[in-house]
C-alpha cells in the first residue's frame, strides 16, 4: 500500500482492534478480592474451599484456556480481512474467483460423498451425516452456508457482463459479445452446481437462505441506468439455473429435503438452550463468562431434565446469545457498532452509480453486503461463523464493503474513461480481471 489509510479503513481497523481486545482483557489476572465478587463465581469459590486450597489470582474468564484459544482463533480471519482490505480492484476480482473455485471444489467433493456414501475416500473427518453432503466441512450447515454465500458472488459476475451484452445488442457492427456469452454460460453452470449442492446438503437453514440469496441475486441485476433491460437476462438465467438444479436433484434429494422440514427433533432443545443461555448471560453480567467458556458455563445452568445421556451442549445455536453470555455487555455493544457500520457501508455501495467504476467492482461490493447479511441471519439459529472457513469468507465480504486504497500515481497513472465505456468493460469468468 502506497498511500495513507482512508477513514473507512481506520474505522474498520478500530473495530477489529476492539474485537481482539475483549478476550485479551478477559485473561488479565485479578486478585481474589476482586474476582470472587464477580457474578457467578460462587461455585468456583466453593470448590476451592472444599479442597482446602487458598484462592489464587484468576482472570475474568471462567475458562482461561478456552478464552486463549478463542483469541488465537481470531488471527486467521483478521489476517484475511487485512489482506483483502489492502487489495486493489483487480486483485479483489481474482480473490472472488478463487473463493468461487474453492466452493465449486467443495460441491464436487460433497456430491461424491453422497454418491459413494461411507465408502467414499473424500470424507476428511468423522462421518456424522453419511447421507448428506458436507464437502470440506464437518457440519452440513456450515457447508450450506458456504454455498448460499457463493450465490451472490456468481450472480455479481453474471450481472456485471449483462451491461456489456445489452450494449452490444444494439451495435450494428458487433452484436455478439463472446466474453459476455461465456460468462453467462459459466455463470449458469456455477449457479446450477451451487443449488444442487445445497439440496444434497439437506440443510433447512441452507435451503431457506438460498432462496433469500436468489432474491438478492435478482436485486444485483437491478443496477444503474437501464436496469429494466439488463435485469431480464439475469433473471431468466437465475430462474433457469434454479429450475434445472431442482430437476437434476429431484430424484436424489428433493423428497429428502422435504422430509427435513416435516419434523425438527431439535426444535424444543433449541428453545431450552436459548432460555438457559439468556439466564446465564443475565447472571454473569456485566463481564460475561469469557470467550470460549460456553460449555462449562452452560452446564452450570442446564436443568437435569434437559440433559441427554453421553452428550453435551457445545453451542447456543444462536451466536448473538452466545456472544452475550461469553462477552457480557461488550458483546451487544460490539454487535451494535458493527450493525451500524454495516448498514452505512451497504447503503453506500447500493446507492453508488455504476458509472463510478467497473460494473464488476460495484457488483462484488453489493454481493459482499448480501453475504454478510445472510451469515448474520444464519447466526440467529446456528453458528456458521464458528467455522474458520466461513469466518474467512465473512472477512473477505467485510473487506469488499470498503473501497480499496488509492493506487500510487507513479505506478498506476490515472486514466479517464467515459461512463459508457466503463459499463461495457466488465470482466468475465473467462477473461482477465481488470482494474478501473
Q: Does some domain include residue 384?
A: yes
Structure confidence at residue 227 (pLDDT): 45
Domain that holds residue 66: 7-26+61-269+305-406+414-423
Please compute the mean of the pLDDT values over residues 72-90 and round it to a whole number. Answer: 93
CA–CA separation, 7 and 13 (whole Å): 10
Q: Does some domain include residue 70?
A: yes
Please compute the mean of the pLDDT values over residues 147-156 and round it to a whole number. Answer: 91
In contact, 357 and 435? CB cutoff 8 Å: no
pLDDT tens profile 224-259: 434 444 555 666 666 666 676 666 555 555 555 555
Q: What percent of the chain has pLDDT over 70?
A: 73
Please compute the mean of the pLDDT values over residues 397-423 and round it to a whole number. Answer: 62
Q: What are phi and psi for residue 237, nearest 5 degrees?
A: -65, -45
pLDDT band at 98 (very low <50, low <70, confident <90, very high): very high
Task: Look at phi and psi of residue 288 and say left if phi exceeds 0, alpha if psi is from -120 to 50, else beta.
Answer: left
Q: Does some domain include residue 11?
A: yes
Q: Does some domain include residue 293?
A: no
Q: Does some domain include residue 134?
A: yes
Q: Does some domain include residue 119?
A: yes
CA–CA separation, 253 and 247 (whole Å): 10
pLDDT tens profile 265-302: 455 577 888 889 999 999 999 999 999 999 989 888 88
pLDDT tens profile 154-202: 888 887 765 554 444 445 445 555 666 777 778 778 888 888 888 888 7
How many CA atoms lie less than 13 Å away from 196 in the CB half-sphere? Answer: 26
Among the listed residues 158, 167, 165, the one whose alpha carbon sits nearest the alpha carbon of residue 241: 158
Number of domains the chain contains: 1
Amino acid at each position: 500500500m502506497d498511500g495513507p489509510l482512508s477513514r473507512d479503513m481506520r474505522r474498520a481497523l478500530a473495530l477489529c482492534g476492539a474485537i481482539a481486545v475483549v478476550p485479551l482483557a478477559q485473561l488479565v489476572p485479578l486478585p481474589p478480592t476482586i474476582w470472587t465478587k464477580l457474578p457467578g463465581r460462587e461455585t468456583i469459590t466453593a470448590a476451592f474451599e472444599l479442597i482446602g486450597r487458598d484462592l489464587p489470582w484468576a482472570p475474568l474468564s471462567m475458562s482461561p484456556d478456552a478464552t486463549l484459544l478463542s483469541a488465537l482463533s481470531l488471527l486467521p480471519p483478521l489476517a484475511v480481512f487485512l489482506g483483502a482490505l489492502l487489495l486493489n480492484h483487480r486483485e479483489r476480482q481474482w480473490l472472488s474467483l478463487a473463493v468461487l473455485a474453492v466452493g465449486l471444489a467443495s460441491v464436487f467433493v460433497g456430491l461424491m460423498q453422497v454418491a459413494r456414501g461411507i465408502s467414499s475416500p473424500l470424507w476428511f473427518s468423522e462421518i456424522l451425516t453419511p447421507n448428506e453432503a458436507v464437502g470440506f466441512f464437518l457440519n452440513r450447515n456450515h457447508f450450506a452456508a458456504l454455498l448460499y454465500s457463493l450465490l451472490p458472488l456468481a450472480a455479481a459476475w453474471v450481472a456485471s457482463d449483462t451491461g456489456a451484452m445489452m450494449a452490444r445488442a444494439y451495435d450494428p457492427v458487433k452484436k455478439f459479445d463472446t466474453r459476455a456469452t461465456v460468462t453467462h454460460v459459466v455463470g449458469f453452470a456455477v449457479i446450477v452446481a451451487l443449488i444442487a449442492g445445497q439440496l444434497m446438503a439437506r440443510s433447512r437453514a441452507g435451503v431457506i437462505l438460498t432462496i433469500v440469496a436468489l432474491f438478492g441475486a435478482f436485486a444485483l441485476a437491478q443496477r444503474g441506468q437501464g436496469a429494466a433491460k439488463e435485469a431480464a437476462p439475469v433473471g431468466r438465467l437465475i430462474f433457469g439455473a434454479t429450475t434445472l438444479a431442482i430437476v437434476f436433484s429431484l430424484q436424489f434429494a428433493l423428497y429428502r429435503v422435504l422430509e427435513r422440514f416435516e419434523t425438527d427433533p431439535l426444535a424444543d432443545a433449541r428453545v431450552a438452550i436459548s432460555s438457559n443461555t439468556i439466564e446465564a448471560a443475565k447472571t454473569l453480567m456485566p463481564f460475561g463468562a469469557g470467550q470460549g467458556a460456553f460449555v462449562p458455563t452452560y452446564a452450570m445452568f442446564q436443568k437435569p431434565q434437559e440433559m441427554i445421556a453421553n452428550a453435551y451442549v457445545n453451542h447456543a445455536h444462536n451466536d448473538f446469545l452466545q456472544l452475550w453470555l461469553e462477552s457480557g455487555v461488550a458483546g451487544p455493544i460490539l454487535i451494535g457498532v458493527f450493525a451500524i457500520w454495516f448498514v452505512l457501508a451497504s447503503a453506500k455501495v447500493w446507492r453508488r452509480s455504476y458509472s463510478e467504476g467497473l460494473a464488476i467492482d460495484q457488483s462484488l461490493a453489493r454481493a459482499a453486503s448480501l453475504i454478510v447479511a445472510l451469515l448474520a441471519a444464519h447466526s440467529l439459529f446456528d453458528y456458521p461463523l464458528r467455522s474458520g472457513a466461513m469466518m474467512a469468507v465473512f472477512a473477505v465480504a467485510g473487506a469488499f464493503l470498503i473501497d480499496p486504497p488509492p493506487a500510487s500515481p507513479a505506478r498506476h497513472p490515472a486514466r479517464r474513461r467515459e461512463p459508457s465505456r466503463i459499463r461495457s468493460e466488465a470482466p468475465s469468468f473467462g477473461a482477465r480481471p481488470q482494474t478501473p
